[in-house]
A and B are shown apart, each in its own frame.
Chain A
């Protein structure tokens, strides 16, 4: 299991765990980011920039600090 930041771009995986409080989990949940969700990492920006993922038919930009708390198991 690795954090979304450390996952290489272009890989698929499943979210296993979100290392945050109720507020963060709620916030992520509203956009469909939750434990058990399949995602594909598209890219990561330089210098602690956001991570871009695709989940289902939508694309999301997730800030570095949040992405650090999303733990993923790669396929």
Chain B
């Protein structure tokens, strides 16, 4: 049996899905978190049934691709569970009436029921059941209330006999609302005042800047503390002795020793330079990057679940418009600051090819992921904030200018923002932890194999002399245009695979500050990593991604060359 979970966006379908199946899916407090469908299984009276979390839709008359997916899936379902946001009964019933016409057995979960009660809305469940002829269950999916009853009632799902005139649908809904819903008027609450303040320009812009600053400070404090007090001591005091011992055991097996431990610097392990699988290969993803990734995702999860992100979209909408995008495009960019791969997936919340192409390109060119940022902090941090400022400032300007140009070059339309702004909700602590945990698991699964593979490939290429050969043939570009030693080409090759490792390869080159800045910017810009590229190919097709790649490489060379010229004068 196939059971479908259907409903408007951001009504808590994914949370209900988690509760019913135990399968973890990411949910947030804004529309469009689940654009793909997710499948899970529930056992009903000993029978295993398939449960499908259908992407949120406002209507069965599709207005965007995500809605089309939802409608096609509806045909295959045997039973429909409609999840309703009880605080927005009218708009949700619009979908209910359309679903009724599909003549499938239905059941309704009046979700967010506790929140409706807090806001002074009461719904007469019995009367609603009576009018539309579908069993209703009140639920609060976050706390799990009502979920058991929902499972019990799946058997009672019924085909509604409610008949109405489709041209007068809103009137019919109005009549139902009059009978089942009572609203007790209340004073404006603090939460509402905060809602209004965060979308008015005079108060909203300072709030946005304050939050961005707080986010930055919190990520650095958490990330640095974890590194200084946990990861660095672990690697130095616990892991290094084990590695040195292993190195002694492996003495004589040069190839294996080089591969696993790498080179000893002054008789000791140097995690930046040794370049063995078990030394640099583990230290870069775990010791240097993971703490920042953890910090970033914890903060992001709080922002997502609080409902603040759509307000960021509103505040930046006019700026995004200049780049042929609208405000919601800021969400993939923010997610991309953690890791470009989920950022690339989030590009799906945009509708047209033009928007997707622009968003994918400017993210790949100028949104550095946390892994890259963490390594850049390590590389440039000792030279002071100014050098980091130049790198990130350049990337920001490139991001904006590339967008400006692409808006004019890329054909197609850029629709306007039209989105629901959810109420603020206090993030549910367990939910935040779970989401961060899922993303970390995912990061480790993606990052560690790629880094290890990168170390392996680098070792092989160096020992076969291929790296040196590529260095020679690309020397003119590196020496003359970018002012870099040709050995930097090795880092650029590694950059296709992993940016963090690539930055690590710049460390032993003993470059000047100017060279480090140019190399950092070029490395950030010329290509995303292969993992991101693969996702984007799936989203945009290979032809568009090849075009996008040409733009990335060209802009990296132009900006790198210009920066080299400017800094040569400035740093004299």
Which of A's residues lie within 8 Å of B, judged by CB? 9, 23, 26-32, 34, 42-50, 52, 56-66
Contacts and interface: CB of A to CB of B under 8 A. Distances in A.
Interface in B273-316: 310, 313-315
Contacts of B418: 27-28, 31, 60-63, 66
A64 B87 CA distance: 27
A60 B420 contact: yes
B318 interface: yes
A49 B90 contact: no
A34 B170 contact: yes
B119 interface: yes
A50 B200 contact: no
The 8 closest A-B CB pairs, nearest first, are A63-B416, A30-B58, A49-B318, A59-B421, A43-B200, A30-B59, A63-B417, A47-B318
Contacts of B170: 34
A28 B416 CA distance: 12
A49 B88 contact: no
A49 B195 CA distance: 17
24 contacts: A9-B200, A26-B61, A30-B61, A31-B91, A31-B420, A34-B170, A43-B201, A45-B201, A49-B201, A50-B327, A52-B199, A56-B88, A56-B90, A57-B119, A57-B121, A60-B418, A60-B421, A61-B199, A61-B310, A61-B327, A61-B417, A61-B418, A63-B317, A66-B418
B63 A45 contact: no
A60 B199 CA distance: 11
A53 to B, nearest CB: 10
Contacts of B315: 45, 49
B511 interface: no
Contacts of B199: 42-43, 45, 52, 61
Contacts of B419: 60-61
B549 interface: no
B137 to A, nearest CB: 21
Contacts of A58: 87-88, 91, 420-421
Nearest to A59: B421
A56 B314 contact: no
